[in-house]
């Protein structure tokens, strides 16, 4: 009887451990592809986005550095970056000056992430901490076209950005953020 209970316990423990190990490996392996780089010898404009996939968890997107890098633009010019995706969603998400070597680097700032991607507002609580206020659904998931447009010429470049639903971990982080008063839902 005791031997059967021990065997059942070991099977259960090993099963749970195996599931946990697989989950950790999948989570760690997610997005571990080789980082794209710009081809500075190319004659036409180009853009890359890092990361290539973002998840729409409030805490996750606010802590993710979304960076666009480009080359092949005219020095002294400026560029703006738009996302175009499902359901005719279009948002201007960044802008940057073009350096003397024809490259640029633009990061999506937190205010833009909140307002354009999450479709949220930003406020403050009684402790003057920043609070993300969710009032409507975020942008739809799917593959978005990243378009860089020159402000002084007709140069453009395109790439892709995948927008995914929040993972289970993202949802737990957002639940904790709600408990801590950092995220509010006012739908």
**Each residue's pLDDT tens digit, 129-186:** 889 999 999 999 999 999 999 999 999 999 999 999 999 999 999 999 999 999 999 8
If asked whether residues 138 and 52 sit together in one domain, one would say yes
Please tell me whether residues 124 and 51 are part of one structural domain: yes
Q: Tell me whether strands 53-55 and 156-164 are parallel, antiparallel or unpaired.
A: parallel
46 and 1 inside one domain: no
Assess whether pLDDT exceeds 70 at residue 31: no
Q: Looking at the structure, do residues 26 and 38 belong to the same domain, yes or no?
A: no
pLDDT at 91: 92
Distance CA 17, CA 7 (A): 15
Q: How many structural domains are present in the chain?
A: 2
What average pLDDT does range 33-55 have in this prediction? 85
Q: Are 52 and 7 found together in one domain?
A: no
- Regarding whether 176 and 84 lie in a shared domain, the answer is yes
Contact 175/184 with Cβ under 8 angstroms? no
Q: Are 61 and 84 within one domain? A: yes
Instruction: Say what the pLDDT of residue 127 is.
Output: 85
Same domain, 107 and 145: yes
CA distance 108 to 64: 9
Residues 123 and 86 in one domain: yes
Residue 19's domain spans which residues? 1-30
- Secondary structure (DSSP) of 4-31: HHHHHHHHHHHHHHHHHHHHHHHHHHTT
Q: Is residue 94 within 8 Å of residue 108, measured between CB atoms?
A: yes
Confidence of residue 38 (pLDDT cuts 50, 70, 90): confident
């Amino acid at each position: 009887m005791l031997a059967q209970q021990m065997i059942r316990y070991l099977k259960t423990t090993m099963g749970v451990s195996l599931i946990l190990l697989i989950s950790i490996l999948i989570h760690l392996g997610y997005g571990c592809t080789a980082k794209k780089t710009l081809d500075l010898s190319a004659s036409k404009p180009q853009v890359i986005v890092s990361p290539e996939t973002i998840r729409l968890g409030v805490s996750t997107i606010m802590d993710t550095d979304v960076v666009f890098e480009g080359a092949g633009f005219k020095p002294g010019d400026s560029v703006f970056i738009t996302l175009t995706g499902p359901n005719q969603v279009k948002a201007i998400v960044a802008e940057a000056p073009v350096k003397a070597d024809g490259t640029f680097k633009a990061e999506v700032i937190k205010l833009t992430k909140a307002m354009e991607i999450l479709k949220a507002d930003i406020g403050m609580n009684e402790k003057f901490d920043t609070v993300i206020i969710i009032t409507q659904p975020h942008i739809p998931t799917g593959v978005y076209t990243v378009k860089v447009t020159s402000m002084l010429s007709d140069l453009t470049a395109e790439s892709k950005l995948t927008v995914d639903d929040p993972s289970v971990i993202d949802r737990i982080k957002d639940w904790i953020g709600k408990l801590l008063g950092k995220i509010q839902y006012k739908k």
